[in-house]
Structure 1
């Protein structure tokens, strides 16, 4: 029997945080009140906003470039600049975060921040590694041991394929395929290898014989994780890709009956004057954490994207403005919140890791990625936050790979730690604001256009 709406949502949040809490909550007290002692490049004399954004993108995508795990070329799950690593975690890579990082590498190549030949070589390294790594009906696990490509269980029963993390990875790979497919011989070969990986993903297996996609499958535990993907949350891209697959597609009915809950996904809720439009799992009054407006939209362009349930630009804009307005009004009275300091999303927290969101789960913790990855939706509000984070808090929250994951002025808490899933959405989403590069690449893929039509989407970005 399926969980009810709130139970299902809470289960997803538990899944997202259970391992991270156990791995990362230790020694957080060491971060309280400490300014960064690391010497980090922190120029302040930018000639223009464009030059400033260039620098911000370059620094953050460097987590995937210079900071990559050496064998795979992929993104480490976390990097702690305070020297406190969870046990046996230093070589763990994340598939979903790597998908965002792949998008960032494309930005780096396009902007001349990464030499094209070296970028292509890195992509070959990544793709060759992924072809040999553990897969479960073509689907990668959430975490892998970098040196071996073997699955690292995310939790006891989550030791197999993770369809959602695979979707985030595939979104980035398809952007890369489109970017390189008309290039030189090395680049065309790379695009062909990516295409092979894409075709080998068995999206339809993860239907579990039903009319809804399931998040996990394990050869040991089968379907015991029992998380059907029902909206609305960060998982929309999973259905788009599954419907678009040229080899293992799912029927449109799985989207409408599973993800959209037979039409029950629609919401009448309004917060701070902004309609929520779609029911946010377990966060039906003020919206969920802001990563829901980022992860599926690294490549999927919400501009002009609509179906029978929503206009997706409005969905994302409204969620961001609700989050922003909530922080400005600050009903819980946390020190530091305001027009220049806002953004609640899943991140490190004062008690481990938490999916921060307005009202329901607000701990006084701000994550820079929330505002910065929202640049396409709220450029003025995001730029104001960027200037404040950089100019006023830079001595406490800025390091080698850009802004640290999260902080709390209220709790005097400034940990020097990075998480890939937060760090690596910043450069791609800023690029989508500036040029729409990744949106253009992903949306031009012919399979994606066919998949969107199959599901009843209208896409008119102009």
Structure 2
């Protein structure tokens, strides 16, 4: 009798183990190209399926579907171009969505042609980002214009709807008063202005951070350009602009010690091509690649002993965390890994970014993977795994992976004659700027 019971128990244990093994079975192996495409498509769906139904703009995050974000939506319009090229949607579907979005932006609240950080996705009315931040946000609007100019260059056919889209984008672009944000002609750009609070936010845009694209666009404006000295005497003058020191054996030309959060290497460079891009201050490919390598090497060294960190699991940048939200970096490390950091660095560190992608997908698995790709962040030390998506983190994943694969957005943005002229006015050189460019 005991033998029978033992056999029954063993059989039950074997059956239970088999069920658990089946439940935890590894995902089907995909080739690298197929896996990268899957990540792009799922992440693209945030901007396609989760977009606000009225405006087509991207909600700030999945828990705030009515609050749309201008900067994240700028990344989103670039993601739509990727979706067309990758066959996730048709050119006609993308065109219709983008026309809806541009028509909405024409009527939405703006402040001297500059949109607010947040707005109501149905009405276009400003939603204050903070108590006094209830007007124009120059940097968020720069992210949108970076995307819109790529859209304008992409839809180049002699077709009435494509021509309409180009014309409306030009109207918005020509109407943006970048020089207004020098606050009465100072040699610096200011981030915010509000009709209710004026310049009371008093936030000057100085480097090094994510805002280089703001100065490039301001210098490239057809109707309201800044003087180049605003770039050289404003942006390039701060106590954390020039660096030149080595961290973990890697030289860092610009920025904070250890580079700061990795989004500095992403947001301005979704359209602005860093390959061979140089001015008197830096080689921007070297800057972004070395920043990424320092960030990864810090995670490998893992001086605070956080669980999970290593060659396969790295990437510190601004994101959600187990406390709330923070700009994670080697000097502000809370044990939180944010997938967008490594994935949006594909152009700079393709092999290392692929390692991280596979770790996130296979090892962390369903704790991190959902309807719109990888959730925003996780901490194995704190056994915390986010359940939300953020537009500002989703967009660079789609776009920068595509720039690694095909250079699509870099090619489009750098083909803009105004951008070429603006870069030259600021003293930049680039292989993407023909010698005969105006």
TM-score w.r.t. structure 1 length? 0.86
Q: Could you report, residue by residue, the CA deviation over 1:130-172 in whole angstroms, capped at 9, with x for unpaired residues?
A: 0000000000000001111000000000000000000001100
Unaligned regions of 5+ residues in structure 1, if any? 1-41, 80-84
Assess if the C-alpha contact under 8 Å between 2:207 and 2:238 holds in 1. no
Structure 1 runs, 4 residues or longer, greater than 6 Å off: none
Which residue in the other structure is 1:412 paired with? Answer: 383
Among residues 234, 241, 247, which one is paired with 2:223 in the alignment? 247
User: Residues 290-439 of structure 1: matches in 2 within 5 Å?
Assistant: 290-358=262-330, 360-439=331-410
Q: CA deviation at 1:406?
A: 0.3
Call closer, same or farther: CA 1:262–1:450 in 2, change over 3 Å.
Answer: farther
Task: Specify every segment of 5 or more residues in structure 2 that has no aligned partner in the other structure, as ranges.
Answer: 1-25, 434-438
Aligned partner of 1:58 in structure 2 is: 41
Q: Distance in 2 between matches of 1:183 and 1:433?
A: 29
Q: Which residue of 2 is the match for residue 44 of structure 1? A: 28
From the superposition, tell whether residues 264 and 143 of structure 1 become closer, same or farther in structure 2 (CA, over 3 Å): closer
CA shift digits 1:318-368 (9 cap, x unpaired): 10000000000001110000000000000001110000000x210000000
Secondary structure of the corresponding residue to residue 389 of structure 2: strand
Q: Which residue is equivalent to 1:175?
A: 150
Cα-to-partner distance string for 1:376-423 (whole Å, 9 max, x where unaligned): 000000000000100111120000000000000111001211111001
Within 1, Cα distance between the matches of 2:370 and 2:35?
Answer: 16
Number of residue equivalences: 408
Aligned mate of 1:199, from 169, 174, 183: 174
8 A contact 1:270–1:285 mirrored in 2: no
Residue 461 of structure 1 and its aligned partner are, at CA, apart by 4.9
Note the C-alpha offset of 1:272: 1.0
Q: Would you say 1:190 and 2:165 are equivalent positions?
A: yes
> Out of 193, 214, 217, which is 2:193 matched to?
217
CA distance in 2: counterparts of 1:404 and 1:413, whole angstroms: 11
Contact 1:256 1:262 in 2 (8 A): no
Give the SS at the match of 1:347: strand
CA distance in 2, matches of 1:112, 1:194: 24
* 1:15 paired residue number: none
Q: 2:418 aligns with which of 422, 427, 447?
A: 447
1:147 and 1:66 map into 2 onto residues whose CA distance is 16
Question: Per the alignment, in what secondary structure is the counterpart of residue 354 of structure 1?
Answer: strand
Q: Which has the higher contact order (CA 8 A, sep 6+)?
A: 1
Q: Aligned residue for 2:202?
A: 226
Distance in 2 (CA, whole Å) between partners of 1:131 and 1:351 is: 38
Conservation of the 8 A alpha-carbon contact between 1:346 and 1:355:
yes
Equivalent position SS for 2:280 = coil
Does residue 139 in structure 1 map to residue 114 in structure 2? Answer: yes
Structure exhibiting the larger radius of gyration computed from Cα positions: 2
Tell me the equivalent position of 2:77.
102
Per the TM alignment, residue 241 of structure 1 is displaced from its structure 2 partner at its CA by 0.1
Q: In structure 2, what is the Cα distance between the partners aligned to 1:117 and 1:103? A: 15
Alignment of 1:64-103 (within 5 A): 64-79=47-62, 85=63, 89-103=64-78
Report the secondary structure of 1:120's partner residue. helix
**Do 1:256 and 1:263's aligned partners in 2 also have CA atoms closer than 8 Å?**
no
Q: Conserved in 2, the CA contact under 8 Å of 1:407 and 1:414?
A: yes
Shift of 1:264: 7.8
Query: Can you list the C-alpha shifts for 1:261-284, whole angstroms capped at 9, x where unaligned?
Result: 189832122101111111x2xxx3
Q: Label 1:348 to 1:166 Cα distance change in 2 as closer, same or farther (>3 A).
A: same
CA, structure 1 residues 373+393, in 2 after alignment: closer, same or farther (shift >3 Å)?
same
**CA deviation digits over 1:169-204, x for unaligned, max 9?**
110000000000235221121111111111111000
1:274-285 paired onto structure 2 within 5 Å: 274-278=250-254, 280=255, 284-285=256-257
